[in-house]
């Protein structure tokens, strides 16, 4: 490849990485924690020792929701669990949810304030917790990330083998960050390619459909998309009420079709109507594209259609791995843990990429305001997000066990935002080297502290509960990862001085006399 072309690819890789890097850092860090989303849902609630961990009664929940909110019959999802959840759309098409524990013995809805920590982390992951535009922004960011990956592949392909063993500790600091960036990038390239494509497809789906409908396929596209993505067409209400077969019958009928099915949710449409349709959706273990749907008639639970691995249209077979490869839910705890580790490595990739961009700019153009601002913003956002999420977890536990438990959801988000802004301000003022040192050490301390505070407030016996144990282990794993980075940083600084960008320049001599004296 010509040197000029290679330089253009390096420039593009750097610029795209810099543009998308901070958003991707937030998405990857939140995404790494989100690998334990279900467990986080349990962790965020005050620990109850006497919980038997058994499945809650879905039929009772369905009946209770419909008794107080009849309009929920139009479209509702039931999610099984020890405290099952019903999600339904109100008259304004807004999604509402009820837990089984939100109803008292008399069947009245008694909403109690709940933590939203797991959902907040999920929202940070897929839309930076930004309303309306967040999802589309992350879609575009994913496309830029894909372009940066293609550029990275073009740059590194010819020297792939050499770079694989190139993490050396000689030379200057920039070379070290560069080698670390290349090593992490090369190891985790397939993982990043998966995320760039699936993330862009999910985030930009509406945009892609709009442009393809306008330019390529015309109005026929909408119907084709519905056929390609839905297990069964949306039924229209007939207006004739009939008795329904019930949740137990639906699950039994689904298991009769797919004996290995693990039910993840049940979708009910026009429940109570003659045209009611029930989709028992879940997973068939042993497949990457593991999603399965058994669609049943609501009144007598007769099977309308079954889509499962090896038995579905090509579109459904192509769509299923988009989700499973993105969410890493196809291989149990081992795969989720691998995704968690690769997610944290991704954070290191984006952080080191931004640092390299700033240092490279300084090397090329001399000290520049944009480079130092980029470095400071990178430090502020990365440490702010990490510390913010840890403080959010602390706020969850402290506020849940205080007289202000009703404000737990606000406290989690407020704590995150306050810490993020504070850290960003601090990063813009403090010396970058000091910020890096204290930011890392502060985050390590916070992630070590969260499980201790949880155990202290809820009893250390709670650590034996598998979900709490897993989340606490993940938080300590974050602390251990940051400790490893801190160890590398200290070791590196001991062997060679930092890049000039990290050290504030001494003030210029004010006069010739000062010059002479110096």
Q: Which residues bind another protein (CB under 8 A)?
A: 5, 8-9, 11-12, 15-16, 19, 140, 143-144, 146-147, 149-151, 154, 196-197, 200-201, 204-205, 207-209, 211-212, 215-220, 223-225, 227-229, 313-315, 318-319, 322
Q: Give 317: exposed, middle or buried? Use CB within 10 Å, 0-12, 13-18, 19+.
A: middle
When the beta carbons of 75 and 221 are compared against another protein, the nearer one is 221
Report how far apart, in Å, the C-alpha atoms of 234 and of each of 19, 69, 245, 295 are: 40, 21, 19, 12
Cα dihedral: 472, 477, 482, 483 (round 10): 100
In whole angstroms, the minimum distance from the beta carbon of 189 to another protein comes to: 14
Measure CA 197 to chain center: 15
Q: How far is the CB of 211 from another protein (least distance, A)?
A: 5
* 367 secondary structure, DSSP code: S
Query: By 3-state DSSP, what share of the chain in percent is helix, strand and coil, each rounded to 5?
Result: 65, 10, 25
Closest approach, Cβ 32 to another protein, in A, equals: 23
- DSSP 3-state assignment of 433? helix
**Which of residues 354 and 472 has its CB atom nearest to another protein in the complex?**
354
Whether residue 412 contacts residue 392, with contact meaning beta carbons closer than 8 Å, is answered with: yes
Cβ proximity to another protein, 11 vs 248, nearer residue: 11
Q: What is the DSSP letter of 288?
A: S
Pick 208 or 449: Cβ nearer another protein: 208
Judged by beta carbon, residue 138 or residue 254, the one nearer another protein is: 138
What is the smallest separation between the CB atom of 3 and another protein, expressed in angstroms?
A: 14
- Least gap, CB of 412 to another protein (angstroms): 34
225 or 453, CB closer to another protein?
Answer: 225
Q: In what order do the strands lie in the sheet with 75-79?
A: 95-99, 85-89, 75-79, 262-269, 277-283, 291-297, 303-307
Distance CA 245, CA 59 (A): 11
Q: CA–CA separation, 180 vs 395, rounded Å?
A: 34
Which of residues 218 and 286 has its CB atom nearest to another protein in the complex? 218
Output the smallest distance, CB 487 to another protein, in A: 36
Q: Which is nearer to another protein, 12 or 237 (CB)?
A: 12
CB of 314 to another protein, least distance (A): 6
Task: Name the residue nearer to another protein (CB basis): 7 or 491.
Answer: 7
d(CA 34, CA 37): 5
Phi and psi at 295, nearest 5°, equal -95, 130
Nearest distance from residue 220's CB to another protein, in Å?
Answer: 5
Per DSSP, the residues of 397-429 read HHHHTSTTGGGHHHHHHHHHHHHHHHHHHHHHH
Q: At a CB cut-off of 8 Å and minimum separation 6, what does 340 contact?
A: 32, 33, 35, 36, 474, 477
Cβ distance to another protein smaller for residue 224 or 338? 224
- HSE on the CB side for 343, CA within 13 Å? 24
Please choose, from the candidates 9, 297, 26, 257, the residue with its C-alpha nearest in 3D space to the C-alpha of residue 138: 26
Question: In angstroms, what is the minimal distance from the CB of 215 to another protein?
Answer: 6
Measured from the CB of residue 397, what is the shortest distance to another protein in angstroms? 40
């Amino acid at each position: 490849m010509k040197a000029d072309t290679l330089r253009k690819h390096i420039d593009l890789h750097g610029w795209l990485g810099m543009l998308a890097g901070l958003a991707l850092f937030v998405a990857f860090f939140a995404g790494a924690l989100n690998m334990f989303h279900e467990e986080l849902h349990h962790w965020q609630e005050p620990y109850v020792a006497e919980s038997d961990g058994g499945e809650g009664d879905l039929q009772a929940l369905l009946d209770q929701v419909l008794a107080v909110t009849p309009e929920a019959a139009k479209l509702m999802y039931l999610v099984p669990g020890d405290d099952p959840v019903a999600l339904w759309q109100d008259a304004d098409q807004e999604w509402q949810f009820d837990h089984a524990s939100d109803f008292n013995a008399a069947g009245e809805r008694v909403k109690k304030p709940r933590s939203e920590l797991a959902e907040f982390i999920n929202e940070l992951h897929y839309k930076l917790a930004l309303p309306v535009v967040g999802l589309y922004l992350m879609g575009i960011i994913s496309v830029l990330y894909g372009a940066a990956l293609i550029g990275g592949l073009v740059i590194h392909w010819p020297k792939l083998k050499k770079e694989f063993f190139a993490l050396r500790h000689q030379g200057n600091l920039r070379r070290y960050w560069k080698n670390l960036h290349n090593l992490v990038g090369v190891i985790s390239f397939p993982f990043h390619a998966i995320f760039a494509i699936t993330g862009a497809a999910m985030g930009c789906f509406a945009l892609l459909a709009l442009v393809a409908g306008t330019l390529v396929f015309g109005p026929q596209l909408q119907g084709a998309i519905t056929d390609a993505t839905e297990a069964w067409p949306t039924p229209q209400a007939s207006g004739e009420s009939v008795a329904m077969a019930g949740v137990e019958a639906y699950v039994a009928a689904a298991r009769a079709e797919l004996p290995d099915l693990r039910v993840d949710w049940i979708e009910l449409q026009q429940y109570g109507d003659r045209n009611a349709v029930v989709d028992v959706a879940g997973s068939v273990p042993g497949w990457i594209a593991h999603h399965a749907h058994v669609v049943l008639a609501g009144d007598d639970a007769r099977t309308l259609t079954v889509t499962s691995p090896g038995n579905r249209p090509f579109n459904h077979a192509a769509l299923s791995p988009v989700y499973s490869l993105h969410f890493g839910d196809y291989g149990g705890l081992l795969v989720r843990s691998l995704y968690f580790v690769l997610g944290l490595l991704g954070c290191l990739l984006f952080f080191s990429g931004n640092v390299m961009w700033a240092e490279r700019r300084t090397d090329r153009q001399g000290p520049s305001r944009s480079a130092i601002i980029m470095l400071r913003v990178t430090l502020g956002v990365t440490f702010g997000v990490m510390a913010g999420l840890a403080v959010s977890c602390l706020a969850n536990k402290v506020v849940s066990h205080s007289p202000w438990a009703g404000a737990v959801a606000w406290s989690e988000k407020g704590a995150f935002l306050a810490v993020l802004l504070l850290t960003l301000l601090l990063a813009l003022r403090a010396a970058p080297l000091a910020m890096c040192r204290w930011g890392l050490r502060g985050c390590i301390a916070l992630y070590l502290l969260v499980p201790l505070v949880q155990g202290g407030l809820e009893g250390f016996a709670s650590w034996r509960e598998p979900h709490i144990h897993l989340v606490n282990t993940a938080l300590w794993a974050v602390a251990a990862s940051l400790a490893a980075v801190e160890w590398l940083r200290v070791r590196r600084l001991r062997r060679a001085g930092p890049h000039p960008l990290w050290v504030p320049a001494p003030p210029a001599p004010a006069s010739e006399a000062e010059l002479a004296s110096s």
